[in-house]
Amino acid sequence: MASYTFGHAIDDSTGGNVSQDARNLRADRGNSDFDARHRLALNFVYELPFGRGHVLGRDWGSTLNAVLGGWEVSSIGTFQSGQPIFVQLSPSNQNSNTGSTRDRPDIAHVLDGNLIITTEKPVIENRTDKAVYLNAAAFATPVRGTFGNAPRNYFNGLGAKNWDLMLGKNFRREGLNAQFRAEFYNVFNHPSLNQPNRYLDAPSFGTITSTLLQNRQIQFGLKLTH
């Protein structure tokens, strides 16, 4: 089975977030915190064609069939584009002097040594080797008592990729079915990275320090059915 979803969620507040300017909610209109534009999910279950009753090994003896017959494999794969990053100043900063805890910075760039305020989307560094995803030089703290022009949830983080795999051995005898399972979560141990630090006035702004998904985990189980 395969399933692909293209979606776009827009709002002016997610999860009770406070607006930057209570008198201008339109300025907070943007991508929802949970917006994920693309998502692909794949899954399959396959019984290997070995052993009694199958194309290969239908005449196997009981010992050989017990070792090589009755195997199956299944897997689930998910691939998702990155979710929005809400670049802002620390809640304790309150640079606008309005009591807001959601003050946003200005989008800026440096030209000939001068800081130029702009509304153009700045370049994201995306240097995952150094875990730096957002360039602090692309933003500036607004003049005290003013609101920043950076739109809410304007940038997207890295996406996520994950494959889970199950290898099972089925035993059937006298009405009792048993399955030994080896389950691998994130079987390829792919490091899907978490969101970067989003507070411009924090020393670690723009850096990624954790992963979104767990590292590879393996567990074994036994399932009995009558």
Give me the mean pLDDT over the 71-79 stretch: 95
- Grade residue 60 by pLDDT with cuts at 50, 70 and 90: confident
The domain tally of the chain equals 1
Mean pLDDT of 59-78: 84
For 119-134, what is each residue's pLDDT tens digit?
555 555 444 444 678 8
Q: What is the pLDDT of residues 98-113, one digit of tens each?
A: 888 889 999 876 445 4
pLDDT at position 191 is 87
Sheet holding 106-111, edge to edge: 114-118, 106-111, 139-140
Report pLDDT digits (tens) over 138-156.
888 999 999 998 889 988 8
Query: pLDDT tens digits for 155-174?
Result: 888 889 999 999 999 887 77
Beta strand residue intervals within the chain, DSSP E? 2-6, 10-11, 30-31, 38-47, 71-80, 84-85, 106-111, 114-118, 139-140, 155-156, 160-173, 176-185, 217-225
For 115, the domain range is 2-225
**3-state class (DSSP) for residue 67:** helix
pTM: 0.75
56 Cβ contact partners less than 8 Å away, ≥ 6 residues apart: 49, 50
pLDDT digits (tens, 9 = 90+) for 179-219: 899 999 999 999 888 989 999 999 989 888 888 888 899 99
- Name residue, tokens 């946003």: 104
Note whether 14 and 33 are within 8 A (CB). yes
